[in-house]
Amino acid sequence: MPTLIPSMASLSPAPVSGYRGRLAPSPTGYLHVGHARTFWTASQRARDAAGTLVMRMEDLDPDRSRSAYAEAAIEDLRWLGIRWQEGPDKGGPFAPYLQSKRRAVYLAAWRKLLRRGFLYPCRCSRKDLETALGAPHESSSPEAHGQQTNGKLEPLDDEPIYPGTCRHFLGSIPLLPGPHASDLEMPEGINWRFRVRDGEVVQFEDRNLGTQRFVAGEDFGDFVVWRRDGVPSYQLACVADDAAMGITEVVRGADLLKSTARQILLNRALGFDNPAWFHCRLVVDHNGRRLAKRHDSLSLRALRQRGLTPMNILSAELPLEA
């Protein structure tokens, strides 16, 4: 075995493998214990693989994202001891690392999906959907899902199954003209949905949770990829960025398993490779409810003020008193 130069051991490891993981906080509140553990897992997996960790700020929603929360997330993650090699604070070969600055990437993906015949415009209002689905459903019982803020689902993992009212528009979208584009070149003003094949089984191997299986049309329906208010959906932005940034493994919370099924369909439609998936079990409170951003007393900020250390926060024995 070759002799190591002694000083080598103290150098911080430079990425040597092709592994690329990411941290993708959304700055709509302070990070809490659940985020801390998921992000810690992501950082450990990148480190163990001698790979690169990318920080991507998912600040797409202009109504709910706050730059103060973005700064807080970066500070909290550093305090936890997590380090990344690329990000909004560091730059890197795939900059910008703020989703709010990456609109062109999402527009290109939207156009590709539209041209390939996967999308249709949906004119249904929220009220139309409620009527079609029959009350009550998600929007009238936020506690059942525990993730609704100001009437908006967060993230869109549990959007109600779309009844298909506007599916007939799928065949009637005019072929896009070339350089002299019509209004269809821009998605604004209407919701655009991705048509799923009802009954199609989407199965994948999760590196933490094993085989996962979902059925299109039962577990999720035609989902929104571009919102009428001009914002690309989480699903679209996520796959477009993971592909553009060369992400090889996605580590995130198990609340996003159903999103993964949708994203696998998007990757196929867009011709992107799937990354590997590693979903972390969710941290729950005493009542068995998953932690949400409304658990302010469990934010990393609050716990730090109470004198807890990163080790306390990452250990399993942490008392979760909301």
Establish if 165 lies at the interface with Zn ion (CB under 5 A): yes
Which helix (DSSP H) or strand (DSSP E) does residue 239 occupy? helix 234-244
Residue with smaller CB distance to Zn ion, 124 or 308? 124
* Residue 226 Cβ vs Zn ion, minimum distance, rounded to whole Å: 13
* Residue 305 Cβ vs Zn ion, minimum distance, rounded to whole Å: 47
Query: How far does the chain reach from its first CA to its final CA, in angstroms?
Result: 53
Residue with smaller CB distance to Zn ion, 77 or 122? 122
Residue with smaller CB distance to Zn ion, 80 or 166? 166
Chain-centroid distance, C-alpha 232? 12
* Residue 256 Cβ vs Zn ion, minimum distance, rounded to whole Å: 25
Residue with smaller CB distance to Zn ion, 56 or 193? 193
Kindly write down the DSSP assignment for every residue of 256-308, as one continuous string.
GHHHHHHHHHHHHHHTPPPPEEEEEPPPB-TTSPBP-TT-GGGBHHHHHHTT-
Interacting residue with Zn ion among 122, 225, 231, 245 (CB under 5 A): 122
Q: Which region holds residue 30: left if phi is over 0, alpha if psi is between -120 and 50, else beta?
A: beta
Establish if 124 lies at the interface with Zn ion (CB under 5 A): yes
Using an 8 Å Cβ cutoff, are 195 and 170 in contact? yes
Number of residues forming the site for Zn ion (CB under 5 A): 4
Q: What CA–CA distance (Å, rounded) separates 43 from 11?
A: 18
- Judged by CB under 5 A, the stretch of 4-12, 74-82, 117-125, 203-211 that binds Zn ion is 117-125
- Judged by CB under 5 A, the stretch of 104-112, 166-174, 217-225, 273-281 that binds Zn ion is 166-174
* Residue 237 Cβ vs Zn ion, minimum distance, rounded to whole Å: 21
Establish if 166 lies at the interface with Zn ion (CB under 5 A): yes
Using an 8 Å Cβ cutoff, are 74 and 136 in contact? no
Residue with smaller CB distance to Zn ion, 193 or 295? 193
Q: Which region holds residue 4: left if phi is over 0, alpha if psi is between -120 and 50, else beta?
A: beta
Nearest CA to 133 out of 316, 141, 74 is that of: 141
Residue with smaller CB distance to Zn ion, 196 or 298? 196
* Residue 193 Cβ vs Zn ion, minimum distance, rounded to whole Å: 7
Kindly write down the DSSP assignment for every residue of 29-55, as one continuous string.
S--BHHHHHHHHHHHHHHHHTT-EEEE
* Residue 124 Cβ vs Zn ion, minimum distance, rounded to whole Å: 3
Contacting positions for Zn ion (CB under 5 A): 122, 124, 165-166
